[in-house]
Amino acid sequence: MVDVCGQLGHSTPPAQPTGCRKAISYDAIGRLGNLMGLYAIIYSLGRSYGATGYVESGMWGTLHKYFPGISLKSVELAPQDAVWEDITYQEVHRKLECQPGENNAEPSYYRIMDWPARNGIDVFHPFRAELRHEFTFAAALQDEAQTFLRSARGNRTSATYIGFHVRRTDFEAYVRKKYGRTLPDVEYFERTLTYYRERFSDALFIVCSDDIDFVTERLNAKQNDDILIAGNRDISDPGRDMALLSACNHSVVTVGTYGFWGAYLAGGTVLAPDEKAHLSRADGSVPLMVVQKAGATNWVMLWS
């Protein structure tokens, strides 16, 4: 096990209005976890450079369904005469910086078209407190999550809830083909269970996955009364499981941006496999240490 807590702080930098009239958006890529990451990047770039952030209409609709308080507006509300220039993620900082002579120039509109390096965490983590507010779940989803947790506690005098997300299905073949790797399995699961059981006598594991049968078997859930399989099996409505994961005290993640965001919103300790972390579409050569170096000091890597 490698404990990397306490490496870096994550104070929120001040907004830097540039006087330039620039706007930034992102081509929508992927499902809920990916879209949350892209939104976080747009929001944070806007805060850093004084730019106006816009969200692709389909992406806005998905996020607003679960997070009705998001502050960024749909790209449909941008000026009708806006002409968007497609750029790469590598270009974005140069494009958004206000150059000499650009004050009061014609507005510029930029749309990022490729996946962000390091999943953009180094860009958005300084604004974590604001993003947790942006990603406040709809009241009905919060109530549903709390009702489930109360029911899960049952007659226990106390419970420390551990959100446990396992990404499988199509991701297994993707990881094997692209990176020549396998997904975390029983050995990693046992290490995470032991880690929390040794620290919390009242640990209660709330397990969500896109492969319920797999986790029920591999976690031996039917023989362990501190493991509850909670996934709703409906991948077309991912907000419910993520709201539940985010309501937990601590977390376990495997791979993928969905599990990342459930844990990121929950706070507390996050256990993650120490193998090279490709949180969905990131470069397979980027280690999980990137997460901690961005200032997310509550992440702990376990040997898998």
- The total number of residues shown for the chain amounts to 304
Q: Over 70: is that where the pLDDT of 3 sits?
A: no
Domain check: are 156 and 275 in the same one? yes
Single residue among 117, 134, 151 that ends a domain in this structure: 134
Are 214 and 107 part of one and the same domain?
no
Beta-carbon neighbour count of residue 212 at 10 Å? 18
Three-state secondary-structure class, residue 26: strand
Let me know whether 174 and 231 are in one domain.
yes
Answer yes or no: is pLDDT of 282 > 80: no
Which two tokens mark 99?
A: 């150059």
23: left (phi over 0), alpha (psi -120 to 50) or beta: beta
pLDDT at 274 over 90: no
Query: What confidence category does residue 119 fall into, taking pLDDT thresholds of 50, 70 and 90?
Result: confident
The whole-angstrom separation of Cα 209 and Cα 216 is 10
User: 3 lies in a domain?
Assistant: no
Shared-domain flag, residues 103 and 148: no
- What are the residues facing 162 on neighbouring strands? 205, 250
Backbone angles phi, psi at 246, to 5 degrees: -70, -20
* Closest of 204, 120, 217, 206 to residue 168, by C-alpha: 217
Q: 197 in a domain, yes or no?
A: yes
3-state secondary structure of 96: helix
**75 neighbors 142 (Cβ within 8 angstroms):** no
Q: Do residue 111 and residue 154 come from a single domain?
A: no
Cβ count near 142 (within 10 Å): 15
pTM for this entry: 0.88
Q: Does a structural domain hold residue 80? A: yes
Domain count, the chain: 2
HSE (CB half, 13 Å, CA atoms) of 170? 2
Q: What is the CATH number of the domain that holds 173?
A: 3.40.50
Residue 302: band (very low, low, confident or very high) from pLDDT cuts 50, 70, 90: confident
Pair (287, 156) in one structural domain: yes
Residue 155 structural domain: 139-302
The reply to whether 282 and 232 lie within a common domain is yes
134-192 pLDDT tens trace: 999 999 999 999 999 999 999 999 999 999 999 888 777 877 787 777 788 888 999 99
